[in-house]
Structure 1
């Protein structure tokens, strides 16, 4: 239909689609029981396979030029629903309202806001399977090392992230500057960490810990109003050295840090 890709929506569509899309379906374990949400379906290459394997598919698309293409391809399929608009403004509870699995090649320029939006709706979303920039997937899924960040911890707080496979940049049109990756986030039903430390308190400490990248945990946490002597003593009590950097500390260690510093 003469569709032109738009930079403002971060549109890069798969050209070497067959192998990659089949692998997406495989690792996402899409089956006849799954209600799927796809964000940014583009021209519907992945949508077609999701409809074939899933129970129903709700696509969220912002580009009105793609609406005709998608409706022409799929409107006769009773399993297909198209919601036009910005995914960040969609009320998932109202528009979806049932348990869903997200499988999508999301717009890279709003990766973090989309992930946060999906996590906010964790009462109906159990599993997230998304294509993102390779370096972003590496950061989110990093279990150790300098790649870990506030984003890493913010995902770990709610679920388990896993790097699944790499998609070379040459598999897209237009060809982007970097490779992509497909990753998963399986959200916890047991609210394991939320039961230990509430959301506001957790992020207060994590953001403080990462506030200045080159500073150690002792210096960064002192900005919360603790004296360095008090911090050193309390951190030592749980076996954490004050000269460690924020990215080297695991989420379980953060739970301990917050516990001892919040103790009255």
Structure 2
């Protein structure tokens, strides 16, 4: 670690220092010399070094100009290394990436959801996503049926499959954050399974309404879309869906089925 570098809270800079964990990231990410890798927020390049050893090409996206010199001094002579100084949320994938990449990164936790959404929107350029995020958020994204499920959970499930790979203690970082972390994998569904059943706009209209108030059941939340409460209750019971069920208790497949039922009723 270069002690002269001053970590900045506004960029969520907590750099992973534990070599065993860095090596584990490389192992579970299944990187080969055929892969072009996109690393978001490389910091001082601890993970970048290992990525360059194992991948065909590594493109790093960094927003902090103070890190530019450090990264270029270390890797500018490596022909497999490319550095783009830009906020990843402003990145034009078609213009600046324009190839299939595997994302492997320790992303800034304060913009976890926007980054995941950015990668999903640009899924034509993204293969698998391997990212380190806050433990609590990781458990929410990968939750299958629990109170931890949220709109973010369903957002990921609609486009792919999330898996929690392993946990990382806060002591493995410098400076040490206040929370533990987790490394997850998001596999993009290349067959567009759910998109073929319910279009994206319709899916998120119902999901967002269903989670509008997590203390309310599905019937009370869906009434915000114009459904009459008693009629909706009868409809759900007729289709063996409990009207007292809350949104977090629905699996992605159950949500798809629910939406299809409601859409058919609305169009009758």
TM-score (norm 1): 0.98
Structure 2, unaligned runs of 5 or more: none
SS where residue 257 of structure 1 aligns? helix
Aligned to 2:211: 210
SS where residue 175 of structure 1 aligns? coil
Once residues 176 and 254 of structure 2 are traced to their aligned partners in structure 1, the CA distance between those partners, rounded to angstroms, is 41
Once residues 45 and 54 of structure 1 are traced to their aligned partners in structure 2, the CA distance between those partners, rounded to angstroms, is 15
Q: Does 1:135 align with 2:136?
A: yes
Aligned to 1:177: 178
Once residues 94 and 86 of structure 2 are traced to their aligned partners in structure 1, the CA distance between those partners, rounded to angstroms, is 16
Is the 8 Å Cα contact of residues 238 and 256 (structure 1) preserved in structure 2?
A: no
What do residues 235-264 of structure 1 show as CA deviations (whole Å, max 9, x unaligned)?
Answer: 123321000000001111111111111112
- Residues 1-264 of structure 1: pairs in structure 2 closer than 5 A: 2-16=4-18, 18-263=19-264, 264=267
Is the 8 Å Cα contact of residues 58 and 81 (structure 2) preserved in structure 1?
A: yes
Structure 1, unaligned runs of 5 or more: none
What displacement does 1:231 show?
1.1
Once residues 162 and 149 of structure 2 are traced to their aligned partners in structure 1, the CA distance between those partners, rounded to angstroms, is 12
Answer with 169-178 or 60-69: which moved more.
169-178
Once residues 67 and 60 of structure 1 are traced to their aligned partners in structure 2, the CA distance between those partners, rounded to angstroms, is 10
Once residues 240 and 100 of structure 1 are traced to their aligned partners in structure 2, the CA distance between those partners, rounded to angstroms, is 41
Is the 8 Å Cα contact of residues 17 and 46 (structure 2) preserved in structure 1?
A: no
What displacement does 1:124 show?
1.3
What do residues 131-156 of structure 1 show as CA deviations (whole Å, max 9, x unaligned)?
Answer: 00000000000001100000000000
Is the 8 Å Cα contact of residues 35 and 54 (structure 1) preserved in structure 2?
A: yes
